[in-house]
Amino acid sequence: MLPKLILICCLAVITSGSIPRPRGVADSNASHYQPNSENVFVCIDGSQSFPYTYVNDDYCDCADGSDEPGTSACPNGKFTCTNIGHRPLIVPASRVNDGVCDCCDGTDEYSGNIACVNTCNELGKKHKEEVERIMKLQEEGVRKKKEFAESGKKMKEEKKARLEQLQADREAAETERQEMEAKKDEAEAPEKEAKDRHQKAWDEEKARRSAEKDAAAGMTAFNELDSNNDNFVDVLEMVVHNEFDIDSNGVVSEEEAKEHLEEVEKVDQDTFVSKIWPNVKQIYKPLVPEEAQSDGEASPPAEPQGETATPPTPETPTQDDSDEKMPDYDDETKVLIEAADVARNSFNAADEKLKSIDREISSLQSYMNLDFGNEEEFSVLKDQCFEYTDREYTYKLCVYERASQRPKSGGSETSLGTWGRWSGPENDRYSSQLYERGQNCWNGPDRSVKVHFKCGPENQLTNAYEPSRCEYAFDFITPVSCSGKVSPLDTHAHDEL
């Protein structure tokens, strides 16, 4: 680099009259590059001032690099491409005269070391076409958005009116239910009394029948045991029955027989039926006549050692008394039952009507509490589900409800989260939604999804990815995100400088 004094001497002398804007200056900063009456330049950050001849002298004097907008002398300098026919472009000053054409008009390569072809008009035309395409897309999206908003507002008003009507209907339904419940209780009281009376009579009848059967079985057993027909059952008649073997040694002793006879030598029929039979009826077995055995009937198998319980005798009823069918109700009770049934049916209908109203009220209140955007435009997405499939998974988004993924090869669905809240920045709140509290990751957090909304011609889930472990992101295009304005971010990616 030449000494400072030599560079200054070699630069054009500032004379009175108009001073052209220095190379690389943006329109927004042009006012800073008009020398005052003393031909002094002040750094844009105001830190220093010096002769205007220091501007673009290939020596960095300002800390902010503002004195070298057209050279690469300052590491933090910025060069503005004029790009007439296209749009201005700011590039790092380090790219000035580096042998690469960064500006479409080639103004960054003024040293002559490389010849740049001016492509600004061509790029400007393409950029204009792209802007027009995006504008058309935005306009169509805005048109649909307005339709969705009108539909959403209408829907909300209808649901609001329906909710108000249901709240009024609920009061009447609650009153009706209370009336039907009172009538039901009034009809069921005499019904219950009559049924209880009928049941009590039946229980007494079953008890009487059971007692008769038991007494008959006891008398049969007494007659079988009274082998000498002296109208008594004594110890000697008991010892021949192996089922009375208490210690299971294969022999019934007189003491064991006497124990079954309540410690007496013999009992008559009445005593046997009333006192002895209730204690022995579960183990008693009638003897098989010898002639029956000689005719080829097999003898009853010997009782296993240590077992005393035996099946009931054939005379003992094997059918539980509770299996007997209760007689029909009398006509008076049937009338009471019929009246109670009518009251119950009326109450059940009133109760279900109230529950149905409550369910609908709850559903409407949930809908009314949802934030569908400033103009209710997002309501069109409610109750709709969308899918996107990549190489491994199919992702599913049910807007305002849940998000999930499932393997393409088959398998169970994994919850990525349920509806949480709008999560866009303060100046663009409706640009993203958060779905949270999904299935827990092993040794990690619960899964969650952030859905990013962008302007598009149709409602479509276009991408799914995982920026960080167990935290997913979906890209969703929809007309309801169209604003009618073109952001520079919408077209930068299409510039080919």
The reply to whether 171 falls in a domain is no
Weakest-pLDDT range from 168-182, 190-204, 257-271: 257-271
**Which residue would you say has higher pLDDT here, 400 or 84?**
400
Q: pLDDT grade, residue 58 (50/70/90)?
A: very high
Q: What does the pLDDT average to over 107-126? A: 90
pLDDT grade, residue 424 (50/70/90)?
very high
Please give the share of the chain, as a percent, with pLDDT higher than 90: 63
Co-location of 227 and 314 in the same domain: yes
- Length in residues, the chain: 497
Residue 215 domain flag: yes
Final residue before a domain boundary, out of 72, 94, 118: 118
The domain tally of the chain equals: 3
Same domain, yes or no: 390 and 279: no
In a domain, 365, yes or no: no
Same-domain pairing of 114 and 38: yes
Average pLDDT for residues 231-254, to the nearest whole number? 89
Q: How confident is the model at residue 133 (pLDDT cuts 50, 70, 90)?
A: confident
Residue 11 binned pLDDT confidence (cut-offs 50, 70, 90):
very low
On whether both 387 and 313 belong to a single domain, the answer is: no
> Is there a domain that residue 329 lies in?
no
Report whether pLDDT(116) > 50.
yes
Do 293 and 389 reside in the same domain of the chain? Answer: no
At residue 305, does pLDDT exceed 80? no
Q: Please check whether residues 391 and 292 belong to one and the same domain.
A: no
* pLDDT at residue 295, rounded to an integer: 54
Torsion angle of the four alpha carbons 29, 31, 35, 37, in this order, in degrees rounded to the nearest 10 = -160
pLDDT category at 32 given cuts 50, 70, 90 is confident
Q: What is the pTM of this model?
A: 0.59
388 and 475 in one domain? yes
Domain end point (choices 303, 323, 343): 323
Per-residue pLDDT at 484 exceeds 70: no
Highest-scoring range by mean pLDDT, 52-61, 111-120, 338-347 = 338-347
Q: Which of 38-42, 106-110, 288-292 has the lowest mean pLDDT?
A: 288-292
Q: Which range among 185-199, 405-419, 443-457, 472-486 shows the weakest confidence by mean pLDDT?
A: 472-486
Domain contains 348: no
Residue 374 belongs to some domain of the structure: no
In this prediction, residue 291 carries a pLDDT of 61
Is the confidence at residue 333, as pLDDT, over 90?
yes
Q: What's residue 16's pLDDT?
A: 39
Kindly state whether residues 319 and 213 are assigned to the same domain: yes
What is the average pLDDT across 375-399?
A: 95
The last residue of one of the domains, among 85, 118, 151, is 118
Report the CATH number at residue 403.
2.70.130.10
371 is a domain residue: no
* Domain interval for residue 443: 383-494
Q: 247 in a domain, yes or no?
A: yes
What's the mean per-residue pLDDT of the chain? 86
Would the pLDDT of 90 be above 60? Answer: yes
pLDDT grade, residue 4 (50/70/90)? very low
Kindly state whether residues 471 and 390 are assigned to the same domain: yes
